[in-house]
Amino acid sequence: MMTNTLFPSIVPDGDEFVDDSYSRQELERKEYPELKSLAADHPSEDVHGKMSAEDIIDGLVGERRL
């Protein structure tokens, strides 16, 4: 019987890696009201709830998820 294994080079050592930042794809799937809410709650002064959807997405990509 064949056993499936992962290559050791792609398995994290020790602490598990968690990407807690926003990706463009994730943000593009959200509706505008939800984007506005995320922007309003985000501590960055460069992003706020009165921006356009595209500006909010540009501002939040790579930022830490709340």
Whether 45 is covered by a domain: the verdict is yes
What are the structure tokens assigned to 9, written together?
């080079």
The pLDDT tens digits for 9-60 are 555 566 666 778 999 999 999 999 999 999 999 998 889 988 999 999 999 9
With b for 16 or more beta-carbon neighbours within 10 A and e for fewer, the 13-52 pattern comes to eeeeeeeeebeeeebeebeeeebbebbeebeeeebeeebe
pTM of the entire structure? 0.71
Q: Running DSSP on this structure, what letter comes out for residue 23?
A: -
29 falls within a domain = no
Residue 52 makes CB contacts below 8 A (sequence gap 6+) with none
Residue 59 sits in which domain range? 35-66
The reply to whether 28 falls in a domain is no
Number of domains making up the chain: 1
pLDDT value of position 60: 95
How high is the pLDDT of residue 61? Answer: 95
